[in-house]
Amino acid sequence: MEKKQYERPIIKSLNAGLMNKFGTRTEYAPMTHIDNVAVKDLIREFGSPLFVLSERKIRDNFKTAKRIFETRYPKVQFAWSYKTNYINAICNIFHQEGSWAEVVSRFEYEKALKNGVPGKKILFNGPDKTDDDLRTAIKNDSPIHIDHLDELYRLIELATELKTKPRVAIRVNMDTGVYPMWDRFGFNYENGQAWDAINKIMATDKLNLIGLHCHIGTYMLVPSAYGVAANKMADLALGVKKRYNKVISYIDMGGGFASKNTLKGSMQLGVDYVPEINQYAEAICSTLLNAGFDKDELPYLYLETGRALIDDAGFLLGSVISNKRLSDGRRATIMDFGVNILFTAFWYDHKVSPAQEFGMHTEDSVIYGPLCMNIDVVRENISLPPLKAGDQVVVHYVGAYNITQSMQFIALRPAVVLIDLSGKPHVIKQKESLKDVENNEVMPDYLKKIKL
């Protein structure tokens, strides 16, 4: 028989009134294993904190999303949003599944090329593309998604210079009934900017307009907004066909599907209110199918889904550094991970589960990170069983954005491990070292010597 775990005693005020409508049970069950690999073993082998990604979950998510769209619309192409998580191993899982690449910077573009993605299958997005970036993209025949008129004019000049016809799409922003409106990217639909840009492209004969792109927002909770967007995109595509007899190859609906994370300030848990991918798919596909495209000219539907495909495949493992009681009597738990590596803690109430069995009692607590900075708060209020120093926890839904947005601030960044389909862990990113951090530093000679 295993030794029973010691749990420190707690003092809790007695609520004599009616029971909380959610009952008395704790929020979470312990999470001791990820894909049948013990959290304990992972931390022992790779250290704490540690990012863990499940290949099984990633592939399952992708196949599910692909199936959901392809059983509703005959022409679907996913492009992996590099900014969501661009560890090469992760990108290549998506590329193996047939995903193209969607990048928003030269650095990501080079990464995609290096991963073996053909230039034709890299969608180049974003407002910041230098002449050199554009030249490279043109030479590789990558679809360039134009964000503003200056870029459009530059492209016309570069096309003349390179004597090729770059394949381009324009990014369109629009009112879908969701506010704030993302009108800072691309050309607006309602005020005619989008048509203006299309007319300019069609008038030059220097650019080949092959697609239309939109990205109506992030963490969208209203699927019908996608229906509105798809409708406006289809209207543009049909308009191009009608006015210029030009068939638009694809409509890129961008990303923005919500993951199961819980947004700060929301009443319910994310898992309970976030729409299923089915609902987004239904809104987009039925709109496009019924928009009135010719049977043989139905545009491809491109999707740059990132978050919804990987958030729940990522876990952050960490350990308790210490417990303390705050001045107002609240319990505080200090973890070895903070906002430096869990950037999304700024807008999500991340789900945190203990990684070992615990008793029936819980205590309201604050979770702080290890940084010597006041902002380093992981959860402002969470009900946790009494944890002691050295206990381990698992933070859920961290696959998207955290690894790419993590900061080397105060502490070094942890290793990233991928658990493959057979349950074998692979390090896909080494733990950062002092050498890594100092690698690009240059010390002028006169500062080399110090004497204290």
Binding residues for another protein, per CB under 8 A?
56, 59-60, 63-64, 67, 70-75, 77, 120, 167, 210, 247, 249-250, 278, 289, 295-297, 300
Closer CB to another protein, 56 or 148, in the complex: 56
At its nearest, how many Å lie between another protein and the CB of residue 113? 18
At its nearest, how many Å lie between another protein and the CB of residue 310? 16
Closer CB to another protein, 61 or 362, in the complex: 61
Closer CB to another protein, 308 or 393, in the complex: 308
At its nearest, how many Å lie between another protein and the CB of residue 421? 9
At its nearest, how many Å lie between another protein and the CB of residue 88? 22
At its nearest, how many Å lie between another protein and the CB of residue 249? 4
Q: Which is it for strands 187-188 and 363-368: parallel, antiparallel or unpaired?
A: unpaired
Closer CB to another protein, 236 or 382, in the complex: 236
Rg (C-alpha) for the chain, rounded Å, is 25
Contact between 77 and 301 (Cβ < 8 Å): yes
Closer CB to another protein, 227 or 414, in the complex: 227
Q: How many CB atoms lie within 10 A of CB 358?
A: 20
At its nearest, how many Å lie between another protein and the CB of residue 180? 32
At its nearest, how many Å lie between another protein and the CB of residue 102? 15
Closer CB to another protein, 373 or 421, in the complex: 421
> Looking up tokens 């615990």, which residue turns up?
358
Contact between 88 and 116 (Cβ < 8 Å): no
Closer CB to another protein, 303 or 334, in the complex: 303
At its nearest, how many Å lie between another protein and the CB of residue 74? 6
At its nearest, how many Å lie between another protein and the CB of residue 297? 7
Contact between 48 and 319 (Cβ < 8 Å): yes
Q: How many CB atoms lie within 10 A of CB 208?
A: 16
The residue among 270, 171, 172 whose CA lies nearest residue 219 is: 270
At its nearest, how many Å lie between another protein and the CB of residue 60? 5
At its nearest, how many Å lie between another protein and the CB of residue 276? 8
CA distance 148 to 172: 10
Closer CB to another protein, 149 or 421, in the complex: 421
Closer CB to another protein, 45 or 297, in the complex: 297
CA distance 53 to 426: 10
Closer CB to another protein, 68 or 382, in the complex: 68
Closer CB to another protein, 210 or 225, in the complex: 210
154, burial (CB in 10 Å: exposed 0-12, middle 13-18, buried 19+): middle
The residue among 101, 144, 92 whose CA lies nearest residue 122 is: 101
Closer CB to another protein, 250 or 397, in the complex: 250
At its nearest, how many Å lie between another protein and the CB of residue 398? 22
